[in-house]
Amino acid sequence: MARFSKVLRKTDIQKRLSVPTGFLSSLPSFNGGAHAVDFQAVDGSGRVWNFRCSIRRNGHPKPVISRGWLAYVNSKSLKVGDKVQFLKEKNDAGAKKHAYEIRAEKEIKIFGAVFGYAPII
């Protein structure tokens, strides 16, 4: 199972989610020189989210998730310091309908220190 996890920053909350370059191989193919690919991810409540991952046309790809991302952020009331995970299930026979899962976690602070994270459904 491929995955990436990220503690959210201001840009991730306000504009787009930066994705580690290593996760690109887990996304659908950027066919024919395309610089964007659409995919779906399901959250813990079973809701399906439509996302678009884009890369630069030249040089370092610097992948970002843009389309659909801010709707997800607003729906889950995500803030700077919260965490998000994208997971890709193995593509075996009888695979799930949605190959990607998205999880969000709220930052838990006690006396100003990060104590841990709690799942958001």
Instruction: Give residue-wise pLDDT tens across range 17-41.
Output: 999 988 888 887 777 778 899 999 9
Q: Which CATH number fits domain 2-120: 3.40.50.300, 3.40.50.80, 2.30.110.10, 2.40.330.10?
A: 2.40.330.10
- Model confidence at 10, pLDDT cuts 50, 70, 90, reads very high
Q: Residue 114: pLDDT above 80?
A: yes
- Give the chain's largest Cα–Cα span: 52
Contacts (Cβ under 8 Å, ≥6 apart) of 111 = none
Closest CA to 104 of 83, 89, 88: 83
**pLDDT of amino acid 84:** 97
**pLDDT of amino acid 99:** 86
- Mean local confidence (pLDDT), 45-51: 95
**pLDDT of amino acid 61:** 82
Instruction: Give residue-wise pLDDT tens across range 50-102.
Output: 999 999 888 788 899 999 999 999 999 999 999 999 998 766 555 556 689 99
Q: Residue 112: pLDDT above 60?
A: yes
Residue that wins the pLDDT comparison between 26 and 6: 6
Cα→Cα distances 23→6, 69, 89, 113, Å: 12, 17, 13, 30
Q: What are the residue boundaries of the structural domains of the chain, listed by start?
A: 2-120
